[in-house]
Amino acid sequence: MNQRITVGLVAFLALCAGIVGALYIAPPSVEGEPDYFQTYPEPRAISPFSLVSHKGERFDTSSLKGQWSLVFVGYTFCPDICPTTMAELNNIYPELQALNSVEPIRIVFVSVDPKRDSVERLAEYVSYFNEEFIALTGEHKTLFPFVSNLGMMYAIAESTDNPNYLVDHSASVVLIDPEARVIGRFKPKREPGKLSISDSQQILADMPVIISKQ
């Protein structure tokens, strides 16, 4: 089974799961505290950085201001967690856009595999899920401190001479506020026999509460 078929199958299954989940989860409330979101004790300022978007455009700290950014770290050759998370985020994207928020809510995918993930490949990959999603790349000397600044990590534990090498990376979805500060993360759910990914329905339920407190 080639990668395109695999990604397509994962996206379809995630779409079905999202529809079923939406039927059983109550509409989000803006009262109380987020149930799932892990809020950091203090917002983290993001150090200056410069990456390249899937459109070949410069993306830096100023690009994060004036919007909410749900950021996920991964790579396009990822066989499971990345396409599943991207599909789940796409499932809830229309509802995120419908939330009562002054600032827009964006999805940002940061590739930590610059050797294989060219701008052109990222453009094709991200548009497969949603053409409004943003994909970023850059050199490791820029990517590593940026990812660490977000409170996440990645590592390539095997030789990149192997065309099918894997990249270990965090599976959380980090939230950056409109002032370009990291305020917390949606940690992946860990259940035996299931992929450890962030729960998209919980993201959808918690976002109105988070926005209302800013």
Q: Which two tokens stand for residue 157?
A: 């534990």
pLDDT in the model for residue 25? 41
- Inter-axis angle of helices 3-24 and 119-129, to 10 degrees? 40
> pLDDT tens digits, residue range 89-115?
999 999 999 999 999 999 999 999 999
Report d(CA 11, CA 200) in Å as an integer.
13
pLDDT in the model for residue 27? 44
Number of domains in the chain: 1
Residue 13 has pLDDT above 70, yes or no: no
Range of the domain at 37: 3-212
Task: Give 22's pLDDT tier (boundaries 50, 70, 90).
Answer: very low
Residue 49 has pLDDT above 70, yes or no: yes
> pLDDT tens digits, residue range 107-146?
999 999 999 999 999 999 999 999 999 999 999 999 999 9
Residue 161 has pLDDT above 80, yes or no: yes
Question: Would you say the pTM of this structure is higher than 0.75?
Answer: yes
Domain CATH for 161: 3.40.30.10
Region 166-193: mean pLDDT is 93
The residue assigned the tokens 């970023």 is 136
Annotated ligand binding at 169? The verdict is yes
Q: Which two tokens stand for residue 199?
A: 């729960």
